[in-house]
A and B are shown apart, each in its own frame.
Chain A
Amino acid sequence: MNGPRPILKTGLALTILGLGLAVVALVLTGFGQFSAFAAEHAGAAGEAAAAGLYGPAPKLTAADYPAIAGVNGRIVVWIVAQLHLWFAAFVLAVPIFVFIIEVIGMRTRDKRYDDMAYEFIKVSITAYSLTAVLGGFLVFALILFYPHLFTYLSTIFSESMFYYALLFFAESAALYIYYYGWHWLQGGFKKWVHLTLGLVLNAVGTTLMLLANAWLTFMMSPAGVDAAGVFGGDAWAAIHNFLWNPINIHRFVANIAYGGSIVGAYAAFKFLTATGRQERAHYDWMGYNANFIAICALLPLPFAGYYLAAEIYAYSQQMGITLMGGIFAWLFIIQAVLIGTLFLSANYYLWCGMGRSDGAKRYTKYIKYIAIVLVGAFLVWFTPHTLVLTNEELKALGGPHHKILGPLGIMPAKNTAVNVMIIFTAISFMFYRRANKIATVPWVKAGNAIQVALYTAGIANIVFLGIYHGYFTNTVYKVAASIPQVLTTLVVIAGSITLDSFIYRGSKEVGSLQWGRIPERAQYALFLLAVAFTWLMGLMGYIRSGIRQHWHVVDIMRDASPDAFTPTLGYAANVVSVAAIIFMAMVIFVFWIAQVSSNKTLPAGYWKE
Chain B
Amino acid sequence: MNIAIIKYNAGNIRSVSFALERLGYKPIITGDHDTIRKADKVIFPGVGEASTTMAFLKQNGLHELIPSLTQPVLGICLGLQLMCKYSEEGDTECLGIFNAPVKKFIPLKDVSPKQKIPHMGWNNLTHVKSPLFNPELEGEFVYFVHSYYVPTGAETIAQANYIHPFSAALQKDNFFATQFHPEKSGSVGEQILKNFLSLK
Answer yes or no: are A and B bound together in one complex.
Answer: no
Q: Which residues of A contact B (CB under 8 A)?
A: none
